[in-house]
Amino acid sequence: MSHTQRKLSFILEKEKEMKIERLRRAWFRFKKSKLALTGFLLFSTLLVMAIFAEFVTPYPKHAETYVDFKARFRPPDLNHLFGTDHLGRDIFTRVVFGFRLAFLMIGIVISIVLPVGTVLGLLAGYYKGKWLDYSIMRAADMFVSIPPLVLALSICAILEPNIVNAMIAVTLMWWPWYTRMVYSMTSALRDEPYVWAARALGVRDINIMFREILPNILGPILTKATLDAAWVILIGATISFLGLGAQPPTPDLGTMISEYMVYFPQYWWMIIGPTLGIAILIMSFNLLGDGLRDVFAGE
Amino acid sequence: MSDLVFDANRLLTVKNLYVKYKSYWYIYHVLNDISINVGLGEKIGIIGESGAGKTTLLKSILQVLPINGKITSGEIFYRDVNLLKCSKQILLEIRRKRVGMIFQDPLAALNPVFTIKDHLLEVLRYANETANIDKSDLINIALDLLRDTLIPDPERILNSYPFQLSGGMRQRIVIAMALASARELLLADEPTTNLDVTIQAQILKLIGELVEKRGLSMILISHALGLIRKMTERVYVMYGGNIIEEAPTFKLFNEPLHPYTQLLFKTAPKILEPLSSVELRGNPLDYRNLPNGCVFHPRCPYGDSEVCRKVKPHQVKVEKDRTVYCHIYGS
Amino acid sequence: MKEPYEMKRCDKTILKVEHLKKYFNTQKGTVRAVDDISFNVFKGETLAIVGESGSGKTTTANVILGRYTATEGSVFYKSIEIGSISLTMRPIWLRREIQVVFQDPATSLNPKKTVKDIIETAIKIHYPQLNKYERIEKMLELLGYVGLTEDHLFKLPGELGGGERQLVALARALATNPTLLILDEPTSSLDVSAQSRILVTLLNIQKNKDLTYILITHDLAVVKNISHRINVMYLGKIVETATTYEIFTKALHPYTQMLLSSIPTISEEESKILPKRVEPRGEVPSAINPPSGCRFSSRCPFAIDICTKREPLLEEVITDHFVACHLVNKNV
């Protein structure tokens, strides 16, 4: 390699190093907050448990159709951490499988809403004042004007009540909030001098949106996604609770609560399981979201 | 070093002040062993490039440093009160009734959800706490203040919000607020940077007149050398958190001694001379890692000697009223 | 007084502005930011447009750049009318030739992008044939023009000083090999040593690359040092235009004199050169409702009767020195 080529490779190497260094610093900032770290650990633990539910739980079969009348209504003991339910199934196992469903729902909903909502928001904000802006934002307004739960429930009632439709309902109800947030941030940034400088250079609109504006608004988007995840879980659980989401015997946390509710206060331990599960799940997302917010704020 | 006997003519004395800004990763040594003093009715200028610590110095005097800023050692005396050790009450009284500060960024200094009237009344109320003045009288005083700073249509402005006003207006309001509470000392941090040059001239004239009329002392920070020349009697030159030269204004402008001051005057864009191609060599300072010895030596055209690299220059009293911190003039 | 600049008289007109008007419609009325101005810019020169806030100088620059389109009148760049074409509609070659350096270095660079990314964007668009290594070479070349080094490549704008950020913005603008560079208050947010550095850099680059600059500023010391000719604007109109030397030695319009007399001077010699203090009367009028007749009449200390009745036209009073003032013009 010639001398110049060596120098240039060295520069590229240095660039990689710098990027790694920046990530390290971000991680450090994240670690600084004990709460965020707790949230992250909690989140990872729950996620791992959910993914490997079959291997982590004592009675994986209880998550499906299973009945054992002899084992009904057992209070919490060493064999059954949360006790057993009215069909003799281990509640702890079902809660962990419920986590799996919850994560699945969050995963699918976020992976649709985040890109779609963000892109729509970017387009609407960048082409502010043009017909694209109006059509997108008025559509968003339409969805936002209906109370989220009512919207979700109506969709589930119209379509068949099952998990997939519950997810569709939550997606439809959720995307406008993203779009609005991205829209307001984008329209604030679209007239910044560096955006005009990019236009003066001849950068195409799409690239301006994704390479100039998006990196500057990514922080709040991701933070919001994490904090919203908690809401998704709650709404999903509510839908299931009302019987319009996952149907028994699917181990969904909301369904479980509605099923076990009737046995309270006699078999009081039953309802604690799924409730605690939801609470811990939501808390982990909230703490994680707080941590992310601190990371981005630190920049 | 200066004696600790309290000179009745001294208003403000800063002695050996060290201020550091702490972030999680680094410590920024912003002020290193700063000592200045301001006499009664004296007008002082502070010049230096951005980041040299001028604003930090003013903020330390009023104790309004940001959270990560800490005064690690040194003393600040206002008359005979040690500002670093006095009670909160006394500090508040000094801030409200004795000292006024004009901040650099007027948009940041005004609260967007309050009208100008709210701002002015608050300042005036604190400034006139003991005298029981009626609210309507206060409003009149506020209107007078606005008129003094050449703000047109003061009644309308009084009821406006900061965002409704132009930058020049906002700056004039900040100046009005500072003048309301400045009975003894005015701290001005780049008071006219964002103003048009004609308004700037008017405002400077105004500040000059008011300072004279009330017999105020003033500390003026500016990087515009012409301003300093016009408005001050004595100048401190700062670099890298240190004072590197002190002289009466006309002496400094006639014959700057410290190499940095000389470079500053040489490179400033002037009307009469073409741009100097002399450049400040080297890199801007990294306040996390200040150079050993003389803080200016890496960029100084004469800074290659061993003593400059190793030993921090002491104060050299070149004349009765001039000091330089540079090895060239002795140690 | 020494003349720091020779008038670079070049017959090649690169930009021609004719009767340009730009009005903005607001709730309070129509703001006449630019109200019928005409001027030329010659290749290789630096034309300064000087005025205070509300004079219309920034709006003029923005129309040339394409951020706004002209309400009336035309802007001819190399004989092509561009005043009606907004920036996003302009062909790539035109965007390449007219570049800009903005006022506030804090916002003219994307805070999330490193210097390398910022400049690489420019290079990728205009030199798509270069590979990875060649791009870096070009980047180093550009940084070299503005006096920065490879150490600056990986820094974020937040890690640079104001002066350095402006230099990066300049390097970015130079990446396209422009012909005309619009400098919008390039030194206003900088301290004195950074100012000097930028100005020296600008001068060197202009010589090496035969660039034409349109400099928008209110700082007359800056103007004196790098511009060949000056347009003085007030409330949307050009009130005086002449070479730098003429303006500083023989300013004729009262407003120009007022501007010059307000500069805080660094030395006694400077005070002697500049006009004596011209005190304005009254406040700056609004651009929605400009005074009748001469726009400066409400503040001019020398205003006479005709000044409020008829608007003075820009007339050539001395060779190449145009003034719009009844007191100065021959035809009163």
Give contacts of B24 with chain A, Cβ < 8 Å: 28-29, 32
SS3 A220: helix
Q: Is the pLDDT of residue B47 over 60?
A: yes
User: Measured between alpha carbons, how far is B78 from B83 in angstroms, rounded to an integer?
Assistant: 7
| Long-range CB contacts (within 8 A, 24+) of A137-143 | A137/A179, A137/A180, A137/A183, A139/A176, A140/A175, A140/A176, A140/A179, A140/A180, A140/A183, A141/A176, A143/A172, A143/A173, A143/A175, A143/A176
User: Measured between alpha carbons, how far is B244 from C95 in angstroms, rounded to an integer?
Assistant: 48
**A29:B25 CB<8 A:** no
Give contacts of C53 with chain B, Cβ < 8 Å: 166-168, 196
Tell me which range, A223-227, B289-293, C25-29, C180-184, is most confidently predicted by mean pLDDT.
C180-184
Residue found under tokens 């309001």:
B173
The one-letter amino acid code at A278 reads I
Q: Going by C-beta distance under 8 Å and a sequence separation of 6 or more, which residues neighbour residue B146?
A: B120, B154, B157, B158, B173, B176
User: Measured between alpha carbons, how far is A1 from A166 in angstroms, rounded to an integer?
Assistant: 60
Q: Is the pLDDT of residue A1 over 60?
A: no
List, in sequence order, the alpha helices (H) in B21-134: 54-62, 88-93, 106-109, 116-127
Q: Kindly list the partner chains of chain B, i.e. chains with 3 or more CB atom pairs below 8 Å.
A: A, C
List, in sequence order, the alpha helices (H) in chain A: 3-32, 34-51, 53-56, 91-126, 131-145, 148-158, 163-189, 193-201, 205-207, 214-241, 253-261, 269-298
Q: Going by C-beta distance under 8 Å and a sequence separation of 6 or more, which residues neighbour residue A27?
A: none
Q: For residue B236, which of B63, B83, B17, B9 has the smallest C-alpha distance? A: B17
Q: Is the pLDDT of residue C268 over 80?
A: no
Q: Is the pLDDT of residue C330 over 70?
A: no
**Mean pLDDT value of segment C215-236:** 89
Query: How close does chain C come to B328, measured CA to CA in Å?
Result: 23
SS3 C46: strand
Task: Please give the structure tokens belonging to residue C113.
Answer: 């992008």
Measured between alpha carbons, how far apart are the two ends of chain B, in Å?
Answer: 14
Bridge partners (DSSP) of residue C41 are C15
Task: Provide ipTM, 2 decimals.
Answer: 0.82
C124: nearest CA in chain A?
Answer: A203
pLDDT at C282: 66
* A3-68+77-297 belongs to CATH 1.10.10.10: no
Q: Kindly list the partner chains of chain A, i.e. chains with 3 or more CB atom pairs below 8 Å.
A: B, C
Give contacts of C116 with chain A, Cβ < 8 Å: 15
Give contacts of A31 with chain B, Cβ < 8 Å: none
Q: pLDDT tens for residues C45-84?
A: 999 999 888 888 999 999 999 999 999 999 999 888 998 8
Cα A106 from chain centroid (whole Å): 4
With an 8 Å Cβ cutoff, the interface of chain A facing chain C consists of: 4-5, 8-9, 11-12, 14-15, 18, 192-194, 196-203, 205, 211-212, 215-216
Give contacts of B271 with chain C, Cβ < 8 Å: 220-221, 224, 248, 263, 265, 270, 273-274
B23 touches chain A (CB under 8 A): no
Q: pLDDT tens for residues B101-128?
A: 888 777 778 888 888 888 888 888 887 7
B25 touches chain A (CB under 8 A): yes
Q: pLDDT tens for residues B32-44?
A: 888 998 988 899 9
Which whole-number Å values give the CA distances from A139 to A126, A179, B178, C193, in the listed order?
17, 10, 50, 54
Q: pLDDT tens for residues A125-175?
A: 999 888 889 999 999 998 888 887 787 778 877 887 777 887 888 888 888
Q: For residue C95, which of C50, C65, C51, C136 has the smallest C-alpha distance? A: C65
C159: nearest CA in chain B?
Answer: B286
Q: Residue ranges per domain, chain A?
A: 3-68+77-297
Q: pLDDT tens for residues B53-80?
A: 888 888 888 888 888 888 898 988 888 8
Instruction: Number of A to B CB contacts under 8 A, please give it.
Output: 4
pTM for this one?
0.82
SS3 C224: helix
**C102:A197 CB<8 A:** yes
pLDDT band at B309 (very low <50, low <70, confident <90, very high): confident
pLDDT at C11: 63
User: Measured between alpha carbons, how far is C138 from C126 in angstroms, rounded to an integer?
Assistant: 12
Q: Tell how strand B217-221 and strand B185-189 pair up.
A: parallel
Give contacts of C274 with chain B, Cβ < 8 Å: 271
Q: For residue B83, which of B13, B160, B2 has the smallest C-alpha distance? A: B13
User: Measured between alpha carbons, how far is A90 from C242 in angstroms, rounded to an integer?
Assistant: 92
Give percent above pLDDT 90 in chain A: 11
